[in-house]
Chains A and B, each alone.
Chain A
Amino acid sequence: MLLNKFQIGSAKNSRKGNYRKGDLGSALLFLSPTLVIFSTFILFPVFFSFYLSFQKWNMFSGDATFIGLDNYTRMIQSAEFWQVLKNTAIYSIGTIPINMALSLWVAYLLNKKIAGKKFLRTAFFAPVIISPVAAALIWRWMYDPNFGLVNFFVESLGLDPVNWLNEPTAAMFALIIMSVWKTFGINMVLFSAGLQGIPESYYEAAELDGAGKWAKFWNITIPMLAPTTFFIMIMSMISSFQVFDVVYVLTSGGPLGSTKVLVFYVYEYAFKFFEMGYASAISYFLFALLFLLTMFQIKYLKSKVYSVA
């Protein structure tokens, strides 16, 4: 509906003669602060890093040398690059399903009439607002083998303490748990909005037909939520492939490089070794990968999304 209104409105305006003479000028005037910031900090870096990905440049000596596709071939030949890509994939495959299932479940529970609903919603959303660095620091404390809260609980359950951040598999798991905790709140809010958009009459109709709780959930809630789910899936995939800050603080890519993800690798080459060309090439690889994955999702999943009017 909103979209239609907008389209009608803009169609009207675009009719010739409906412009007043100063329109474009004043529009640009009001837009110019955004345009300046957008072009300096987003547009320019996007094109500049593409240019850089074919150069060898260390940021301080003025001249960059053109080296063709060398950065890209170096990337493909590097064993570390593939390891890092694998780590990123494991992280994404680990976070996205848990994140989505948990946020849907919590949103579903909070959609019912229960006491303290507002408080609980705020509480679950709070981690999203906390600075990632502060959150990761807190979790590092909690995961500490000697002073940590997590092992305290593990041990009081009578289990052997786990070395969360010093054992490759455990560290990835620790990172996934923390990331889910940190980000599921935003998805929960999106799912809540989706749930509230489902008309009550559908459920009533289903009840008249004798549908149980599960039948209603599977046949009404899930299909009706499909557009929301689709959106969340694409966004979570993009953000999980771009994860950096929590990794940097929580595990620093360790132990033994087991949690080193793609953006961490880019950071290391760009701002530690100052190999801007190589770092830009990896960034463009990441862009291409995300672009293809998103296109794939849109093409093959969108037809399955049940759209309402």
Chain B
Amino acid sequence: MNTVLEVIDVHKRFEHPVLSGVSLSLRQSEVVCVIGPSGGGKSTLLKCINWLTPPDSGAIFFQGERIGFEKKPDHWKQLGERAIAHQRKHMGMVFQHFNLFRNRTALENVIEGLVVVHKVSREEALIRGRALLKRVGLEHRANAYPHELSGGQQQRVAIARAVAANPALILFDEPTSALDPELVGEVLAVIKDLTRENSAMVIVTHEIKFALDVSDRVIFMDQGVIAEQGAADQVINHPREERTRQFLSAI
């Protein structure tokens, strides 16, 4: 199977080390859930992958291309901002706080990337946008502004926006953490539905049952390293590491 994403020995520190040597690879259409205590570096890892937070060292290869760098005969040359933007075109990201464009309707949010980044014609983008809203169950809210939608609805629109351009990889940064408990289900259902597609996914989540349900693989991160990883059932139901056991019993 094709490797979509290759994370090699990534380090990142802010005031103190957040990522201390994380390596990981994802096959095409593989779904990986990342669990672990807060401050373990999960969200930072996602932002390093799409270079929103460039790592201090290590490398990210996405579809064979190194993010942030360009291969020269004898060295890696750092890429400019525009070229990095170009590299992100085939990655989608879903944020904890949705981050829908506040000045655009649900439909406009979904088609924004298609029109502006992928240069799809507006008519075509609208057709695709409506289909996506239908898929997340919000075709009737196409013309609503984000502030007129519930948190769960906003997140479903944000997911539609992230997948609009058929990304090879989708990054989910705690997609249900900011939601009221009764709205979590609808968002998880939408994500689960999307796992049938070809996109690979990295999902940072605290929903252990959901992780067990959808993941091909579960990664347990703690203190900036991958402490344990393996098949969902193995990591969640039969953890080998003491840290994993402690974390899972605490929640």
A and B: interacting chains: no
Residues of B within 8 A of A (CB): none
